[in-house]
Structure 1
Amino acid sequence: MNFDDIQSLWNKDDGGKGVVVPDNLEKIRAAHHPVDKIRKTMRHEALTQLIAVILAGFWGRYMESAIMSVIYYCLYGVMLATCVYYSYRFYRFYRRLGTSVLSAKEHLYEVYYDIELHIEMYRSWTYALMMLGLGLATTYILTKPGFMQAVGTAVSAWTVFKIVSVFVVVIGWCVVATELWIRMCYGKYLKEIKKIKDELKDVQ
Structure 2
Amino acid sequence: MNFDQLKEQWNKEGSDVNIPDTIQQLKESRHPIEKIRKNMKKEFPMQIGAIILMALFPLQFHFPASQYIIYYVSYTMMVVISSYYLFGFYQFYRQAELYTGNTKNSLWKIYHELRLNMERYQSFGFLLLPHFLVTIGLQIYNMMEKQGRSLTELTSPQQLGLITAVLIGILTVITSIVLWTKYSYGRSARQLKNILNEMDE
For the pair 1:45 / 2:43, whether they are aligned, the reply is yes
User: Is contact 2:111–2:189 with CA below 8 Å preserved after alignment?
Assistant: yes
CA distance 1:135–1:152, shift in 2 (3 Å): closer
Return the TM-score normalized by structure 2: 0.80
Q: What's the CA shift for 1:149?
A: 6.0
For the pair 1:122 / 2:121, whether they are aligned, the reply is yes
**More relative contact order, 1 or 2 (CA 8 Å, 6+ apart):** 1
Give the aligned partner of residue 91 of structure 1: 90
Moved more, 81-90 or 186-195: 81-90
Give the aligned partner of residue 58 of structure 1: 56
Give the aligned partner of residue 197 of structure 1: 196
| Structure 2: gaps of 5 or more residues | 8-18
Give the aligned partner of residue 10 of structure 2: none
Q: Which amino acid aligns with 2:93?
A: Y
Give the aligned partner of residue 5 of structure 1: none
Supply the distance in 2 between the matched residues of 1:92 and 1:52 (Cα, whole angstroms).
20
Give the aligned partner of residue 71 of structure 1: 70
Supply the distance in 1 between the matched residues of 2:80 and 2:41 (Cα, whole angstroms).
20
Give the number of the structure whose alpha-carbon radius of gyration is greater: 1
Supply the distance in 2 between the matched residues of 1:51 and 1:21 (Cα, whole angstroms).
40
Supply the distance in 2 between the matched residues of 1:117 and 1:97 (Cα, whole angstroms).
13
Matches within 5 A, 1:176-187: 176-187=175-186
Post-superposition CA distance 1:7-51 (Å, at most 9, x none): xxxxxxxxxxxx637331537848641110110110110111122
Matched residues, number: 183
Moved more, 108-117 or 128-137: 128-137
SS of aligned partner of 1:145? helix
Post-superposition CA distance 1:136-180 (Å, at most 9, x none): 212443455279963444x43321221121012111211121112
Supply the distance in 1 between the matched residues of 2:175 and 2:193 (Cα, whole angstroms).
24
Give the aligned partner of residue 137 of structure 2: 138
Question: Identity percentage over the alignment?
Answer: 23
CA distance 1:148–1:99, shift in 2 (3 Å): farther
Pick from 19, 23, 34 the counterpart of residue 5 of structure 2.
23
Return the TM-score normalized by structure 1: 0.79
| Structure 1: gaps of 5 or more residues | 1-18
Supply the distance in 1 between the matched residues of 2:187 and 2:152 (Cα, whole angstroms).
52
CA distance 1:86–1:149, shift in 2 (3 Å): same
For the pair 1:159 / 2:158, whether they are aligned, the reply is yes
Q: Which amino acid aligns with 1:164?
A: I
